[in-house]
Chains A and B, each alone.
Chain A
Amino acid sequence: MDDNSSVDRGTVGLSENSHAMLKTLADEHFSEMTHGYRFAIALALAMGSSGHDFDGEKRRTFINVGTLDRDHALKQLILLLYDCEESEAYGVAERLAEWGVREMARRDEAGELDFASLIEEAGTAGASSAEVDANAAD
């Protein structure tokens, strides 16, 4: 799946490695992998990651966007917070998910995956990254 595609897509994907990582994470923390995938996107957005580190990754279809983002709330937030074209929103989501899953897996492996701390940490990182965005916009 080409994550740079400008066509509004019907599915989102994940690399083989990240899929395995997400499965492990879901087994331990989430009731469904989809919840973990959504959390991963939000984590990357909150931490100010572009997700471009994984541009070249080969991905396989993970889930239908209708299931992932029934009310398009996620898409709208990506558009607002990431500042991309509407047609690119789920491509961006895919890249962000890749980053977010790997970040969670990295912390999990180090025994440092503490979701409450992650949310608090994301608050600080997110606020400063938004300020940078705002300054840049000025």
Chain B
Amino acid sequence: MIISSIHLKNFMPYSGEHSLNLKPSNSSNVVVVFGNNMGGKTSILNGIRWCLYGKAYLRGGESKPQPLVKLLNAEAMRAADYSIEARVLFTWEGSDYELRRSATAIDSKIAPRTDSDFEVRVSLLKNSTVLGDDARIRTLHECFPEAISRFMLFDGELLQEYEELLEEGSHQGKRIASAIEQALGIPALSQGKEEAAFLKKEFQKKAAKDAEHIKGLEAFAKEARQLDSEIDILEEDIEELRTQEESAKVELEVTDTLIAEAEREREGFNKIQALKATQKALVERENEIVVERQGVLRDAWRDLLMPRINVVQQQIEQRLMQHRDWRIAEADLQRRRADLSKSLNNDACVACGQSLEKDSKHQITNELARLEDEVSRLSRPDGDEAQLSAQVGRLRQVQHSGASVKLRKLEAEQDDSNLRLHKIETELADLNEAIRDFDSTADARNRAKRDSLLKHLGGLRTKLEDAEEKRVDKQERRDRIGQKNSSGIPGRYQRMQLAADTCEHLEALFKRSLHSLRDALKEDVEKIASEAFLAMTSDKNYTGLRINKQYGLAILDDRGDKVPLRSAGAEQVVALSLIMALNKSRRAGVVVMDTPFGRLDTVHRQNILETLPKLASQVVLLVHEGELTREDAPKYLGNALARSYSIHHPNPLRSEIRPETIGVD
């Protein structure tokens, strides 16, 4: 089966019509679509999923299928074009098919709000002829069984689904394992076993009916009829119990999903409370910062003047120094002048008291005249010293407040606070959006419902085991009495009994075959997956993979022991190995991979790209340039690269798919 093309109209970010030609040519079976994050890669995967199964999911594991209104392109919505369409054209067993799914607003003039506002239509054309509903459903189930869609539509972000396989006994793991068995064709054998068992019972019933008319077998006929009737009743009970169990399991799964969602929403509430408390504290601090800043600015005028004050203060202090120097010099001159005058007046030296000689008197007179001259030349500095001292005193009182440093610190704190507040606002908006639909009453109801369902399931399991045990006992007894009374009695009775015995052998054969096939397929899957894994992994310490009951694959080290811890990248390689093995073990088909290399390094990426073309008959890669560049795609894929596309995102409301020039086309 090959998908020829995909066509999307007003689907998610794709406003108007967009198409992808995916048809492989010769050995070129890989199509690459490049797109940035949030650009619309997953929407292409969702487009295919919605067209095939009527479901589209947001990223994030167990999300609910998205309502139709969320699938409608926002630009189209604004333009009042309320119609979505997805078409998948494919070929299968020599016929051309076109699957079309559309959703159109019932009232074209009113913007739809819920799914009930849309009319959904699905049609499947086989060689241009419309198939009836039954034929459509049957064909799609054969071509694209939903249970195994995870192996066809691979989302690199949802690897945990594959990791669940390693947890033997997990409900999700069992479901995936069952899907894998479906992909491998095991149901054909199990159906054969069931049909043989059914036929055996039919023949046994007919034989018992014939025995009623055979002399000597009346008692056997009576007992057989009684046992057949009891077995029928038990089987009906078992069937009913299984139906109830399956329905309760589905209901439990839905309830668990709702509870998990509510749990996330509840965590969202707690986070909102914590964020609001931080927001409040930040806003309060911002108000304090405003007040503190105003306080700093109130006194900052002095800081503005400090440099000039310092200069002026230095100038005045210099002048005061000049005044002091003048006073000292003047006092010294006056003292010396007084001493000399006294010596002349007393005719004796002031210092030693000796009489003055004539020459000495002359020298003193000259010195006195020089000093008089010096005193007369010694000019008093400008300004009043007391006034200058007062000015310096006043200037010294002006204190620097450190305003500049304080302002810088407060502004830095405010910037940081603004940034944090902005982040909190964005986070709060996202969280509020996420918890918008939270209903605590519904959550409590769901929790009570889960408890009740678990109890109910426990009861059903006990009843089922009991009924199964009784049925096996009765069937064994029925087989025994049938065999005991089968020989030596000719005619139709014997033929019926022989046919029943043959069916019993067939049932046993199917049972053994089923085990053998399962084991053989597991061996195959393990072998192919190991080969693929070894071709893709760059770690030489790994020697292969080992499969478990649920088709979970464990990595083996060089001693053949399971590697207990594995990296996210290793998980991805293991998941891809499983997909390759499943595709090779059954008829090879199409694989669409969204962000498959997100967790991988360059070497693994290269190994996988070189192995990919052998993975399936058709591979579509939805990648961002961080995973695979436009230059590397042809380098690693070579001739296998049929063509490539790129997703452009001209505005937040629309994305466009454009063909690229790389590829063999």
Q: Across the interface, do A126 and B297 meet the contact criterion of CB distance under 8 Å?
A: no
Residue B309 interfacial (CB < 8 Å): yes
Contact size range, B: 20 to 34
Q: Across the interface, do B311 and A130 meet the contact criterion of CB distance under 8 Å?
A: yes
Question: From B291, which residue of chain A is reached at the shortest CB distance?
Answer: A31
Q: Is the interface of B mostly helix, strand, loop or mixed?
A: helix
Chain B, range 274-331, C-beta contacts under 8 Å to A? 291, 293-295, 297-298, 300-312, 315
Question: From B298, which residue of chain A is reached at the shortest CB distance?
Answer: A35
Residue B215 interfacial (CB < 8 Å): no
Neighbouring A residues of B182 by C-beta, 8 Å: none
Chain A, range 15-41, C-beta contacts under 8 Å to B? 29-32, 35, 38-39, 41
**Among candidates A39, A116, A130, A134, residue contacting B404 with C-beta atoms closer than 8 Å:** A116
Q: What's the nearest-Cβ distance from chain A to residue B387, in Å?
A: 11
Question: From B306, which residue of chain A is reached at the shortest CB distance?
Answer: A123
**Among candidates A46, A73, A76, A115, residue contacting B297 with C-beta atoms closer than 8 Å:** A115
Chain B, range 380-422, C-beta contacts under 8 Å to A? 391, 394-395, 397-398, 403-405, 407-408, 411
Q: What's the nearest-Cβ distance from chain B to residue A131, in Å?
A: 7
Q: Across the interface, do A116 and B398 meet the contact criterion of CB distance under 8 Å?
A: no
Asked if A134 meets B311 with Cβ closer than 8 Å, knowing A115-B407, A116-B411, the reply is yes
Count contacts on A: residues with CB < 8 A to the other chain.
Answer: 33
A41 to B304, CA, bound (A): 10
A121 to B395, CA, bound (A): 21
A84 to B306, CA, bound (A): 19
Q: Across the interface, do A43 and B304 meet the contact criterion of CB distance under 8 Å?
A: yes
Asked if A45 meets B305 with Cβ closer than 8 Å, knowing A31-B298, A76-B394, the reply is yes
The total number of A-B Cβ pairs within 8 Å is: 97
Neighbouring A residues of B293 by C-beta, 8 Å: 29
Residue A127 interfacial (CB < 8 Å): yes
Asked if A38 meets B308 with Cβ closer than 8 Å, knowing A76-B394, A116-B407, the reply is no
Neighbouring A residues of B303 by C-beta, 8 Å: 119
A66 to B293, CA, bound (A): 25
Residue A92 interfacial (CB < 8 Å): no
A41 to B310, CA, bound (A): 18
Q: Across the interface, do A45 and B304 meet the contact criterion of CB distance under 8 Å?
A: yes
Neighbouring B residues of A80 by C-beta, 8 Å: 309, 312, 391, 394-395
Neighbouring B residues of A130 by C-beta, 8 Å: 307-308, 311-312
Neighbouring A residues of B307 by C-beta, 8 Å: 46, 122-124, 126-127, 130
Question: From A39, which residue of chain B is reached at the shortest CB distance?
Answer: B301
**B interface footprint on A46-67 (CB within 8 Å = 1, 0 otherwise):** 1000000000000000000000
**B interface footprint on A78-113 (CB within 8 Å = 1, 0 otherwise):** 001100000000000000000000000000000000
Q: What's the nearest-Cβ distance from chain B to residue A102, in Å?
A: 16
Question: From B295, which residue of chain A is reached at the shortest CB distance?
Answer: A31
Neighbouring B residues of A31 by C-beta, 8 Å: 291, 294-295, 298
Q: Across the interface, do A122 and B304 meet the contact criterion of CB distance under 8 Å?
A: yes
A111 to B222, CA, bound (A): 104
Residue A77 interfacial (CB < 8 Å): yes
Question: From B408, which residue of chain A is reached at the shortest CB distance?
Answer: A116
Asked if A115 meets B403 with Cβ closer than 8 Å, knowing A41-B301, A77-B398, the reply is yes
**Among candidates B294, B302, B308, B403, residue contacting A29 with C-beta atoms closer than 8 Å:** B294
A133 to B305, CA, bound (A): 15
Neighbouring A residues of B300 by C-beta, 8 Å: 39, 42, 115, 119
Q: Across the interface, do A42 and B305 meet the contact criterion of CB distance under 8 Å?
A: yes
**Among candidates B309, B391, B404, residue contacting A119 with C-beta atoms closer than 8 Å:** B404
Q: What's the nearest-Cβ distance from chain A to residue B491, in Å?
A: 109
Asked if A73 meets B305 with Cβ closer than 8 Å, knowing A115-B300, A116-B408, A119-B300, the reply is no
**Among candidates A38, A131, A133, A137, residue contacting B301 with C-beta atoms closer than 8 Å:** A38
A133 to B297, CA, bound (A): 28
A115 to B309, CA, bound (A): 19
Q: What's the nearest-Cβ distance from chain B to residue A118, in Å?
A: 8
Q: What's the nearest-Cβ distance from chain A to residue B472, in Å?
A: 87
A76 to B308, CA, bound (A): 13
Q: What's the nearest-Cβ distance from chain B to residue A42, in Å?
A: 4
Neighbouring B residues of A124 by C-beta, 8 Å: 307
**Among candidates A30, A41, A116, A134, residue contacting B294 with C-beta atoms closer than 8 Å:** A30
Neighbouring B residues of A39 by C-beta, 8 Å: 297, 300-301, 304
Residue A129 interfacial (CB < 8 Å): yes
Identify 25 residue pairs between A and B in the complex whose beta-carbon atoms are under 8 Å apart, listed by A's number.
Answer: A29-B294, A31-B291, A31-B294, A31-B295, A31-B298, A35-B298, A35-B301, A39-B301, A39-B304, A42-B300, A42-B302, A45-B304, A46-B305, A46-B308, A76-B391, A81-B308, A81-B312, A115-B403, A116-B403, A119-B300, A123-B307, A126-B306, A126-B307, A127-B311, A133-B312
Nearest 10 Cβ contacts at the A-B interface: A130-B311, A42-B301, A126-B307, A31-B294, A126-B308, A116-B407, A42-B304, A46-B304, A119-B404, A127-B307
Q: A119-B300, A137-B315 are in contact. List 6 more A-B contacts (CB 8 A).
A: A32-B298, A42-B305, A77-B309, A80-B391, A80-B394, A134-B311
